[in-house]
Structure 1
Amino acid sequence: MLEWLTWSAAWATFVVVIDMTIRITAIMFVPPGRRPTSAMAWLLLIFFLPVPGVLLFLLIGNPRLPKKRREVQSEVNSFLHAANDSLELGTLLPNPPEWFESIVDMNRKLGALPLSGDNGARLISDYHESIRAMTEAVRGAQRYVHVEFYILKADAATEDFFVAMEEAIARGVPVRVLMDHWANLSKPLHRQTKERLTRMGADWHLLLPLQPLARKFQRPDLRNHRKLLIVDGDVAFLGSQNLTDPSYNVPKNIRRGLQWVDLMVRLDGPVVRSVDAVFLTDYYSETNEVPDGIDLAEVTAGSDDYDCQVVPSGPGFESENNLQLFLSLLYAAQERAIMVSPYFVPDEALLRAVSGAAARGVQVDLFVSETSDQAIVYHAQRSYYETLLRAGVNIWQYRAPFILHTKSLSIDDETAVIGSSNMDMRSFGLNFEASLLVRGREFVDELRDVEELYRQNSTLLTLEEWLKQPLRSRALDNLARLTSALQ
């Protein structure tokens, strides 16, 4: 009996020592370099569930790229800086707002790409029309085609696009394709898509591959979320749309009738070279090679006179470039700010910027989806609604079964951002994104028409209606909010 008690006491002491060691070590190593909200979420998880919490932290607690990838990214950033002079082209629009040039300078320092003038930019808000426009561009390719999409699938919706790539290769045009590994692996038709790309002779590669046996591994939830198409250096497409069926071919989406609503922009003029530079950096990151025969200094005239700047962001940069851009524009807004984001999970800085704009008398509208395909993000987003409504933000919920997947921000009358970046902590810290800053009154007018179309298909959420939410729903929202902070 005495021996058993002694053993039990020794075991209990061991458990207490391990528990305290984990907690003290967590306090020392979790907070440095991390947002206070993220650090607090991790510490709470580790304190309540020490062993699972530590294991999860070791798996996804480090938002940085592996050392080898960071070295490659450093080379990539140097390449972008070196390309600056050759990409700063075109005549800029006169009389910019006082704040505009400082934001452009900030973007250039953070993302290494300049503002260019004399660009054409046309919005495409119809999902299938966007695919048709991209297909037409590929069919006209003479020198090369660069395709980079977070999700890329050979399915019924993209059949013509794949045929156009096959025809281009048959003409001797190089077709280079990049797609995120995990995002495509987790969706239907991945194997069939890879096999078709191989058969046609495309030079295709997986972005951020999770292949431990090939010594390719990093935090598993890092993503390359960009959506880009460049043809001959003359035309580019950029925005929120993946190259797949609007249901993503996922059975549960099809059962629910979910359809994605997206927005792409077709570009021509000097800015196309900046888009191409982003593709080339991603291509080099995965292959350690630079394609031959591409001169970023060679440009064609644009079809309009918009000022455009590409802002790349992601864990390869020291700063959260997209967040800095959104914050700066929200603080600059004087009359109105319209945000469209399917996943709106702000950090404290963005929440303050949005609330501050509303407090200054700026009309602030936020478009989100009434339903979602991602439960945790959906509930985390809802946890901010009361704060936003009390601040005076108009929340428009796009009606189900559609998922409003557009990512855009427009302020006042002549400045807008469109791209792949959501307004959430994942897009700010973990995803590689590409955003496009545009200055041009006609372009913003065109975007306002799209926003009005969204408004007509949305319902306005009121504070009175929101306060009727049941307690269990609020509890779930708040729990998801805590989980979303585990960055």
Structure 2
Amino acid sequence: MVSEQWPIIGLILVLADWVIRIAALIVIPRDRKPTASMAWLLAIFLIPFVGILLFLLIGNVKLPKKRRDRQTEINRMIAERADGMDLVADRSEWPTWFASVVEQNRVLGALPAAGGNTAHLIGDYQASIDAMAADIDTAEHFVHVEFFIVSLDTTTKGFFAAMERAVQRGVVVRVLLDHISTGRSATHEATYAELDRIGAKWSFLLPVMPFKGKYQRPDLRNHRKLVVVDGRVGYMGSQNLIDRSYNSKKNLKRGLQWQELVARVTGPVVAGINGVFLSDWYSETDENLLATEHLPATEAPFSTDPDALDCQVVPSGPAYEGENNLRQFLALVNSAQQQVIITSPYFVPDEAMIYAITSASLRGLEVQLFVSEIGDQGSVWHAQRSYYGQLLRAGVRIFMYPGPYILHAKHMSIDDDVAVIGSSNMDIRSFNLNFEVMLLVRGPSFVAEMREVEAGYRAVGRELTLEEWEREPASATFLDGIARLTSALQ
């Protein structure tokens, strides 16, 4: 009897297989990049049942409609508050192309540019956390903290102590932390308990709690890192609030240490950094503080120093339609006239980005890329390596930051007077799947600081040459190509 059923079961499986394949051809290419569509179709055609399960789990890059509608509402409120305000005192020194980039960022992310700012870079891991704690000790009204990973440990205990002192002074301390990523840290339970003990108001970012009605694609994460004190001082960069080893057993075993870069910012643009925090707070808690816990940009200290900077905060993420950071990076690289220097720990660009970078080199610009010599994420590291040959043949210079350090800083400098710094890697995940935030800066003094940082990377690292790369055996690059294919699954 059972043997008689096998042909029927086999026929059903064959029909199901073809239904999946045909449905995939209809559904997957819709509103999806060709590279991503091809990667998903390849997965589904090779492993139909597993592929379709993966697609159903992580194939939708959009957040729930309520969350996307909330972002639209926030953008409208920010745009209304900024309408008619010109916070840049003098645009005459801007490069001719810069105004169009600023306008694109404003249209996509709602936040305008502002002049009269100061910004300084901090490359020392502990020093950046200590500087944040010192500014928290000056808070009189509010402290806003948002990180991809928050951990109570020996490195961050001073930061937590500063938050506790602020609460004791009557200052409202609000903390946002990514649910999945912080939950994976070794000290997450102690961290939550400490936030409760000191009296901070805190919430998860993008919680995955299906039984509480809070769910979206689980790998859509909030990757932002920022701190705001009273709307006067802000911090943005690549660094999480955790020990330099991430307290991970595998990192400790390998002796890995993260190398970061953070910008301390003052001036009207801090209102934009705070606006990003308040938008995330509203999205996660339904508490709208945009009108109350917000120092308007027009009331912030405005620097009249000749080295004052014009800055713009550029948020991005799956709640936006326009891939804000990808468009900003493309506009900057395509507009550069002299040089482009990129630092990215996870460099897995899409086709448009790799063409922009190689084209910049081919049209005679000095183009440099700083990456880590070793990787902490195998698949990403191999996918990144798959681009080295193409870059080197186009004339891009690649510098490898030595282990046991992971160069985790995320920044780019254009010519002598434009730079960006923040949380976004130059990879498909940061372009499409993560909530990120970048600071666009125009000012020779800031770029000169970044040039010093880049010179430091160059001094301790080594340059990868085309001759060296071409000696790589095929067996060493096989996994690179496989990882590159799978990187497009978004």
Matched residue SS, 1:346: coil
Match of 2:213 in 1: 215
- 1:287 pairs with one of 285, 288, 293: 285
Q: Kindly report which structure 2 residues correspond to 1:16-165, keeping only aligned pairs within 5 A, or say none.
A: 16-85=14-83, 88-165=86-163
Contact 2:61 2:217 in 1 (8 A): yes
Matched residue SS, 2:319: coil
Give the stretch that moved more between structures: 65-74 or 258-267. Answer: 65-74
Cα 1:41/1:376, change in 2 over 3 Å: same
Matched residue SS, 1:345: coil
Contact 2:230 2:295 in 1 (8 A): no
Match of 1:170 in 2: 168
Match of 1:329 in 2: 332
Q: Distance in 2 between matches of 1:271 and 1:329?
A: 20
Q: Distance in 2 between matches of 1:415 and 1:112?
A: 20
Residue 457 (structure 1) shift: 1.3
The Cα offsets for residues 144-177 of structure 1, whole Å up to 9 and x where unpaired, read as 1000011111110011110000000000000000
Asked if 1:463 is matched to 2:466, the reply is yes
Give the stretch that moved more between structures: 78-87 or 185-194. Answer: 78-87
Match of 1:453 in 2: 456
Cα 1:92/1:419, change in 2 over 3 Å: farther
- 2:376 pairs with one of 359, 373, 377: 373
Q: Distance in 2 between matches of 1:397 and 1:180?
A: 30
Give the stretch that moved more between structures: 209-218 or 471-480. Answer: 471-480
- 2:234 pairs with one of 233, 236, 239: 236
Matched residue SS, 2:94: coil
Quick one: which amino acid aligns to residue 294 of structure 2? I
Residue 82 (structure 1) shift: 2.0
The percent of aligned pairs where both chains have the same amino acid is 53
Quick one: which amino acid aligns to residue 250 of structure 2? K
Match of 1:247 in 2: 245
Match of 1:364 in 2: 367
Q: Distance in 1 between matches of 2:255 and 2:85?
A: 44
Contact 1:86 1:296 in 2 (8 A): no
Matched residue SS, 1:423: coil
Match of 1:299 in 2: 299
The Cα offsets for residues 98-155 of structure 1, whole Å up to 9 and x where unpaired, read as 1010111111101111010010111111111111110100011111100001111111
Q: Distance in 2 between matches of 1:420 and 1:119?
A: 20
Contact 2:274 2:294 in 1 (8 A): no
Quick one: which amino acid aligns to residue 314 of structure 1? G
Matched residue SS, 2:371: strand
Cα 1:154/1:92, change in 2 over 3 Å: farther
Residue 68 (structure 1) shift: 2.1
Residue 326 (structure 1) shift: 0.4
The Cα offsets for residues 242-288 of structure 1, whole Å up to 9 and x where unpaired, read as 11111111111111111111111111110000100000000000011
Match of 1:227 in 2: 225
Matched residue SS, 1:57: helix
Q: Distance in 1 between matches of 2:2 and 2:204?
A: 57
Cα 1:233/1:364, change in 2 over 3 Å: same
Q: Distance in 2 between matches of 1:86 and 1:221?
A: 38
Quick one: which amino acid aligns to residue 226 of structure 1? R
Give the stretch that moved more between structures: 412-421 or 458-467. Answer: 458-467
Matched residue SS, 2:301: coil
Contact 1:310 1:434 in 2 (8 A): yes
Q: Distance in 2 between matches of 1:453 and 1:87?
A: 39
- 2:352 pairs with one of 343, 349, 353: 349
CA RMSD of aligned residues (A): 1.3
Cα 1:16/1:293, change in 2 over 3 Å: closer
Q: Distance in 1 between matches of 2:360 and 2:38?
A: 27
Cα 1:81/1:15, change in 2 over 3 Å: same
The Cα offsets for residues 347-366 of structure 1, whole Å up to 9 and x where unpaired, read as 00000000100010001000
Q: Distance in 2 between matches of 1:428 and 1:238?
A: 18
Q: Distance in 2 between matches of 1:264 and 1:69?
A: 29
Q: Kindly report which structure 2 residues correspond to 1:421-460, keeping only aligned pairs within 5 A, or say none.
A: 421-460=424-463
Contact 1:273 1:299 in 2 (8 A): no
Matched residue SS, 1:223: coil
Residue 27 (structure 1) shift: 0.4
Q: Distance in 1 between matches of 2:21 and 2:384?
A: 30
Give the stretch that moved more between structures: 432-441 or 12-21. Answer: 12-21
- 1:475 pairs with one of 474, 478, 488: 478
Matched residue SS, 2:446: helix
Q: Distance in 2 between matches of 1:411 and 1:297?
A: 26
Q: Distance in 2 between matches of 1:293 and 1:323?
A: 30
Residue 372 (structure 1) shift: 1.3
Match of 1:316 in 2: 319
Contact 1:155 1:244 in 2 (8 A): yes
Asked if 1:398 is matched to 2:401, the reply is yes
Contact 2:271 2:294 in 1 (8 A): no
Contact 1:398 1:457 in 2 (8 A): yes
Q: Distance in 1 between matches of 2:2 and 2:354?
A: 57
TM-score (norm 2): 0.97
Can you give the 5+ residue segments of structure 1 that lack an aligned partner in the other structure?
A: none
- 1:411 pairs with one of 394, 411, 414: 414
Contact 1:277 1:296 in 2 (8 A): no
**Structure 1 residue ranges (4+ consecutive) displaced by more than 4 angstroms after TM superposition:** 3-6
Match of 1:268 in 2: 266
Residue 9 (structure 1) shift: 3.0
Cα 1:293/1:446, change in 2 over 3 Å: closer
Matched residue SS, 2:186: coil
Can you give the 5+ residue segments of structure 2 that lack an aligned partner in the other structure?
A: none
Q: Distance in 2 between matches of 1:421 and 1:329?
A: 15
Match of 2:201 in 1: 203
Contact 1:369 1:402 in 2 (8 A): yes
